[in-house]
């Protein structure tokens, strides 16, 4: 079937669209160009009527932001910033601006005739989906976060094995602050499963308070440690009587660029006041040297090992450093740290068992390989190769007693391999076959247990939690993840390739109804990210059916800056090469138009967070190519990003204005500084959260002000504000549903789709215009 569909595809599209992979990256796995592209229409149908939306009803128009220019010269270049004052988000003037913009946006969005209908469908699809994620196993118990119908944020659940009855341990609703809903940010059970530490925060702030409970009776132990945001790597001591956690220093101001400087790891002993917790890892503590100012540290205490490890992250840099000490010294609160892995070693992850330390590294291996060292009193032994570089990019690894399990990808299509560790085992990893092109969202293993637990999903295949049988490699459904009621059987998925400005072939994944035909009238949403070496992998979302079932297309661009083809792909869209990320995204849009999937009047683009760089960057370079743009909680002013609380941590990825080359690269990727007066820009819907700890809300505010003053198209520029929300982590079900309804309705309005154009805009526009 796949071969037949590929044949049909070859007849419909030119060879350039079917090229398998960018050289010198490996070819995609057999069958990765799966279902056929939409067939060409038998004859070009007459264009659907398009009702232009030249502007907003007067009642929905926010007042213009006052211009208060700040001029500065950076490396001989004058930079003019007309809206720097909006960076003082808490000032009265800025708050009034945010209120006015949000009020205008919500009035305009509420006036869209079809919004109520599509919102109802999104709520229906959302309510029919149960989400299970963040699985952990300890002491025979299975822990997980679960979002079930009726819940706003996930609860922490536990079972006695997969067949056991479910119990809710933590409902974060009890930690709400006023009207701001709370969410569980992270959790970690003790090795015996008797205790669990977890972090909870309200309003999307991610500013977690660390708490501990007894899983046997749900009793809270009375521990409440604030400033505990960065603890997804919290570690328990072997006996469960103490744990090691990271804490932000006291006194850091929320909006200060040094808010996250000098994070430390503390040791807490159960039953002892938190005030007595001692620092076990920080710059200079226990002899630790070479620790960056913006460090994000965590501790690993392997079972049956004489050594423990400190993992050191330098902001968002992918490479880590690793320091070692003895478990005995760490348990006394008196570690003596020796650095055994440096940032220049290219290591991005470790797995440890006894005194073996497995290292995932891209040094000398752009697609990554796995090394193993022995750790002793004199440091680490000479590394030997456990898994050589292969044809796929190794993304992650998990150690079990039978095998080292490897998650790998080619162009964003993931697969599972395992390297058997027993006597006589082959040195070549074996491929574990799955039923569809999956994303392995999580691998759960234990070095003392065979097999693995996987959370897998696809773009149109719902998530499932499976166990990998150690002897056969067969997959078995654990039943932990209920099947959703949403039916995607009428949808298809295809992988094609666009050609970028320099000839590089960029993968594009398209989702659409099987009955869709190639047409300029297809409503299409192109999504891109391309940062931090993170590949765009499949993920299931039942609510996207609300778009697809209306004949819409969703396309995901696997642009450079991501990790689809290894570290070289990442570095080709980083700092000085970030322009490639933007141009790749434009190339994907051009591709969709050139080969008849859609047209500029029916094409929108969206980028979230760092995805604001390609989406807004594409808009300012090619405003003629898009009908609408949706930058969600996006970075848009790159010259000022590093001066925000989360900015210094991102310098390893984007660079700094402190150097001439860094300034020039940031200026090119900064959409805010590329906006030109008198340009006909597409319609824009910016979203932001007032409690966003990752991308400050002034990023959206400044861009909204600049575009509203500059655009000559008459199309709306709206800024939607989530007053009790952040970057998305911790968002409630209702917040996500309402935002998606606004986005879909906004796009269908701007596409001129019947039933989505407000009456006043229709009267203002006059008769329908030709495309």
Contacts of 594 (CB under 8 A, 6+ apart): none
Please give the C-alpha separations between residue 360 and each of 212, 412, 536, in angstroms, as whole numbers. Answer: 32, 19, 20
The C-alpha torsion from 746 through 750 and 752 to 755, rounded to 10°, is 10
Distances (CA, A) of 109 to 100, 112, 262: 14, 6, 43
Rounded to 10°, the helix 92-110/733-750 angle is 70
Contact between 232 and 210 (Cβ < 8 Å): no
What single-letter DSSP state applies at residue 435?
S
CA distance 131 to 128: 10
Are residues 13 and 497 in contact, defined by beta-carbon separation less than 8 angstroms?
no
Q: Which two tokens stand for residue 552?
A: 């819409």
Q: Are 583 and 500 in contact (CB under 8 A)?
A: yes
The upper half-sphere exposure of residue 676, i.e. CA atoms within 13 Å in the direction of its Cβ, equals 9
Give the total residue count for the chain: 771
Structure confidence at residue 304 (pLDDT) = 87
Surface-to-core class of residue 450, CB atoms within 10 Å of its CB (0-12 exposed, 13-18 middle, 19+ buried): middle
| Secondary structure of residue 341 in the 3-state scheme | strand
DSSP H or E segment with residue 527: strand 524-528
| Confidence (pLDDT) at 204 | 96
CB 370 within 8 A of CB 417: no
Q: What DSSP designation does 272 have? A: S
Measured at the CA of 555, the angle between CA 551 and CA 556, to 5 degrees, comes to 155
Fold of the domain spanning 48-123+486-765: Rossmann fold (3.40.50)
CA distance 496 to 587: 13
For residue 634, how many C-alpha atoms fall within 13 Å in the half-sphere facing its CB?
A: 34
Residue 759 has a pLDDT of 79
Please state the pTM of the whole predicted model: 0.92
For every residue of 81-123, DSSP letters joined together read ETTGGGG-TTSHHHHHHHHHHHHHHHHHHHT-TTHHHHHHHHH
pLDDT, tens digit, 9 for 90 and up, residues 227-258? 999 999 999 999 999 999 999 998 766 668 98
- Please state the separation of Cα 696 from the chain's center in Å: 17
How far is C-alpha 89 from the chain's CA centre?
Answer: 25
Helix %, strand %, coil % of the chain (to 5): 25, 30, 45
- Can you tell me the distance from the alpha carbon of 241 to that of 717, in angstroms, rounded to the nearest whole number? 55
Spatial contact of 305 and 350, defined as CB atoms under 8 Å apart: no
Is cis: bond before 24, omega within 30 of 0? Answer: yes
For 67-86, how does the pLDDT look when each residue is reduced to its tens digit (9 = 90+)? Answer: 999 999 999 999 999 999 99
Question: Which residue from 560, 582, 570, 565 is spatially nearest to 638, judged by alpha carbons?
Answer: 582
Q: Which two tokens stand for residue 109?
A: 């969005």
Radius of gyration of the chain measured on its C-alpha atoms: 26
Neighbours of 654 (CB within 10 A): 24
DSSP letter string, 573-627? TSGGGTHHHHHHHHHHHHHHHHTTS--GGGEEEEEEGGGHHHHHHHHHH-GGG-S
Identify the three-state secondary structure at position 240: coil
Task: Compute φ and ψ for 744, nearest 5 degrees.
Answer: -60, -45
Pick from 339, 342, 337: nearest CA to 361: 342
Listed in sequence order, the DSSP H helices in 88-222 are 92-110, 115-127
According to the model, what pLDDT value does residue 551 have?
97
Question: In which residue ranges of the chain is pLDDT below 50?
Answer: 1-12, 14-16, 18-37, 40-52, 54, 58, 423-424, 762-771
Q: Are 353 and 339 in contact (CB under 8 A)?
A: no
Exposure string over 732-760, b if 16+ CB within 10 A, otherwise e: bbebbbbbbbbbbbbbbbbbbbeebbbee
What angle is formed at CA 564 by the lines to CA 562 and CA 568, rounded to 5 degrees? 70
Q: What confidence score (pLDDT) does residue 38 get? A: 52
Distance CA 495, CA 458 (A): 13
Give the C-alpha separation, 675 to 671, whole Å: 7
**How many whole angstroms from its chain centre is CA 135?**
18
Residue 427: the pLDDT is: 66
Whether residue 194 contacts residue 169, with contact meaning beta carbons closer than 8 Å, is answered with: no
pLDDT in tens, 613-623: 999 999 999 99
Question: Smallest Cα–Cα separation from 189: which of 207, 174, 205, 170?
Answer: 170
Looking at residue 12, its pLDDT comes to 41
Structure tokens at 449: 């247990």
Can you tell me whether residue 357 is helix, strand or coil?
Answer: strand
């Amino acid at each position: 079937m796949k071969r037949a569909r590929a044949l049909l595809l070859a007849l419909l599209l030119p060879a350039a669209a079917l090229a398998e992979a960018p050289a010198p990256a490996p070819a995609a796995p057999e069958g990765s160009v799966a279902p056929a592209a939409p067939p060409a229409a038998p004859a070009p149908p007459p264009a659907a009527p398009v009702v232009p939306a030249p502007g907003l009803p007067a009642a929905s128009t926010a007042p213009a932001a006052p211009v208060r220019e700040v001029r500065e010269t950076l490396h001989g270049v004058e930079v003019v910033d007309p809206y720097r004052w909006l960076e003082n988000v808490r000032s009265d003037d800025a708050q009034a601006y945010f209120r006015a913009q949000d009020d205008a946006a919500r009035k305009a969005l509420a006036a869209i005739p079809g919004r109520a209908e599509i919102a109802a469908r999104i709520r229906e699809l959302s309510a029919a989906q149960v989400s299970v994620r963040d699985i952990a196993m300890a002491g025979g118990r299975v822990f997980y976060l679960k979002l079930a119908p009726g819940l706003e944020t996930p609860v922490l659940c536990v079972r006695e094995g997969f067949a056991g009855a479910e119990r809710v341990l933590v409902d974060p609703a009890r930690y709400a602050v006023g009207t701001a809903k709370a969410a569980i940010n992270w959790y970690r059970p003790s090795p015996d499963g008797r205790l669990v530490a977890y972090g909870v925060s309200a309003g999307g702030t991610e500013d977690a308070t660390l708490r501990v409970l007894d899983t046997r009776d749900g009793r809270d132990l009375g521990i409440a440690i604030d400033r505990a945001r960065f603890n997804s790597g919290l570690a328990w001591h072997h006996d469960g009587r103490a744990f090691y956690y990271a804490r932000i220093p006291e006194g850091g101001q929320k909006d200060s660029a040094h808010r996250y400087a000098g994070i430390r790891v503390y040791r807490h002993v159960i039953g002892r006041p938190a005030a007595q917790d001692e620092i076990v890892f920080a710059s200079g503590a226990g002899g630790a040297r070479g620790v960056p100012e913006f460090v994000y540290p965590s501790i690993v205490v392997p079972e049956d090992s004489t050594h423990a490890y400190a993992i050191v992250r330098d902001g968002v840099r992918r490479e880590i450093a690793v320091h070692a000490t003895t478990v005995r010294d760490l348990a006394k609160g008196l570690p003596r740290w020796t650095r055994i892995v440096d940032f220049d070693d290219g290591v991005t992850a470790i797995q440890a068992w006894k005194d073996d330390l497995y290292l995932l590294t891209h040094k000398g291996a752009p697609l990554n390989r796995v090394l193993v060292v022995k750790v002793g009193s004199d440091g680490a032994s000479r590394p030997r190769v456990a898994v050589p570089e292969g044809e796929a990019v190794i993304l992650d690894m998990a150690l079990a007693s039978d095998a080292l399990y490897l998650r790998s990808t080619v162009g964003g299509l993931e697969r599972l391999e395992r390297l058997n560790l027993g006597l006589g085992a082959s040195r070549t990893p074996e491929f574990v076959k799955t039923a569809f092109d999956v994303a392995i969202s999580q691998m759960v293993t234990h070095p003392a247990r065979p097999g693995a637990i996987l959370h897998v999903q696809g773009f149109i295949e719902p998530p499932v939690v499976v166990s990998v049988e150690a002897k056969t490699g067969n997959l078995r459904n654990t039943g932990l993840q209920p099947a959703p009621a949403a039916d995607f059987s009428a949808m298809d998925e295809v992988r094609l390739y666009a050609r970028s400005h320099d000839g590089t072939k960029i993968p594009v994944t398209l989702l659409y109804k099987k009955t869709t035909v190639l047409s300029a009238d297809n409503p299409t949403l192109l999504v891109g990210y391309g940062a931090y070496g993170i590949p765009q992998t499949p993920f299931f979302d039942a609510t996207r059916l609300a778009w697809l079932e209306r004949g819409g297309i969703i396309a995901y661009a696997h642009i450079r800056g991501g990790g689809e083809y290894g570290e070289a792909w990442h570095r080709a869209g980083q700092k000085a090469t970030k322009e490639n990320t933007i141009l790749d995204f434009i190339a994907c849009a051009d591709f969709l138009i050139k080969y008849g999937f859609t047209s500029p009047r029916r094409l929108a683009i969206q980028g979230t967070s760092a995805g604001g760089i390609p989406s807004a960057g594409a808009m300012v370079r090619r405003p003629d190519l898009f009908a609408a743009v949706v930058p969600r909680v996006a970075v848009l002013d790159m010259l000022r990003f590093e001066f925000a609380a989360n900015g210094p941590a991102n310098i390893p990825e984007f660079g700094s204005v402190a150097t001439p080359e860094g300034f020039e690269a940031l200026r090119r990727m900064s959409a805010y500084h590329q906006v030109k007066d008198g340009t006909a820009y597409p319609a824009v819907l910016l979203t932001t959260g007032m409690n966003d700890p990752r991308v400050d809300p002034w990023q959206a505010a400044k861009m909204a002000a600049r575009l509203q003053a500059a655009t000559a198209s008459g199309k709306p520029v709206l800024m939607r504000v989530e007053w009790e929300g952040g970057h998305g982590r911790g968002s409630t079900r209702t917040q996500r549903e309402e935002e998606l309804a606004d986005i879909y309705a906004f796009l269908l309005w701007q596409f001129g789709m019947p039933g989505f154009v407000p009456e006043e805009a229709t009267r203002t526009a006059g008769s329908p215009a030709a495309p």
